């Protein structure tokens, strides 16, 4: 559960870059099945993005999603 990331599934193209990058920085292997972000039904009309327990809120998936499907929530003071 990432409380800090806003998901916009309409913009998702199913490239899995977020999953690849998350697994790589946290597990040192390109293993999207073990990423803390999961994109299901990648090529469906309606893909589903979710965050798993263990997500550190590092924001790296947001940084590398080049399609605007993930954005960071504004931090309130």
Partner 1 sequence: MEWNGYTGNILNVDLTRNKISIIKENLEDIKQFIGGIGINCKLAAELIKPGIDPLSEENVIIIGTGPMVGTITPGASRVVGISKFPASGAIANSCGSMSFGFHLKQAGFDHVIISGKAEKAVYLEILDDHVELCNATDIWGKDIVETTDRLWKKHDGSCGVIAIGQAGENLVKGALTLIDKTSTFGRGGLGAIMGSKKLKAIVSKGTKGVSIADPKEFNKLYKKLIERIRNYPHRKSWIDLGMLRSLPIGMLLSMKGQKKKARQCSDRVYLKKLKKRRIACPSCPMADKDILEIKEGKYDGLIHYTSSVINPFMMMTLDSLNTYDETINAFDLINRYGLDSLTITTLFQFLNDMNDKGILSKSDMGFEWKCDYNTLIKLIEMIAFRKGFGDILAEGWKKLADMNETMATEMLVVKGLDVVFEPRLLRLGTMEFEQVVNPKGAHVASGGSPTYVSSGGSMERFKTHFRRMGIPELAFNKIFTPPRKEMGINVGRLTRYSEDWYTVLTSTGICARAQMNRFWSLESITAFYNAITGFDLIQEDLRKAAERVWNLLKIMNMKEGFSRKDDKFPKEWFKPLKFGDNELNFQDFYGSTTITTEIANQLLDDYYDERGWDKINGQPTLEKIKELKLEKYL
Candidates 42, 17, 47, 44; CA nearest to 32 is 17
Q: How many residues bind partner 1 (CB under 8 A)?
A: 26
26 contacts partner 1 (rule: CB under 8 A) = no
**Residue 53's CB: how many other CB atoms inside 10 A?**
6
32 contacts ligand SF4 (rule: CB under 6 A) = no
17 contacts ligand SF4 (rule: CB under 6 A) = yes
Burial class of residue 45 in the structure, from the number of CB atoms within 10 Å of its CB (0-12 exposed, 13-18 middle, 19+ buried): exposed
71 contacts ligand SF4 (rule: CB under 6 A) = no
Q: Which residues pair with 71 in a beta bridge?
A: 6
Q: Which of 44, 53, 74, 77 binds partner 1 (CB under 8 A)?
A: 44
Q: Minimum distance between the CB of residue 3 and partner 1, rounded to whole angstroms?
A: 26
């Amino acid at each position: 559960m990432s409380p800090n990331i806003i998901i916009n599934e309409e913009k998702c193209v199913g490239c899995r870059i977020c999953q690849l990058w998350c697994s790589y920085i946290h597990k040192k292997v390109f293993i999207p099945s073990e990423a803390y972000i999961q994109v299901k039904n990648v090529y469906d009309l309606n893909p589903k993005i979710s965050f798993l327990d263990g997500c550190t809120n590092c924001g790296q998936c947001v940084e590398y999603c080049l399609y605007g499907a993930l954005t960071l929530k504004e931090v309130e003071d």
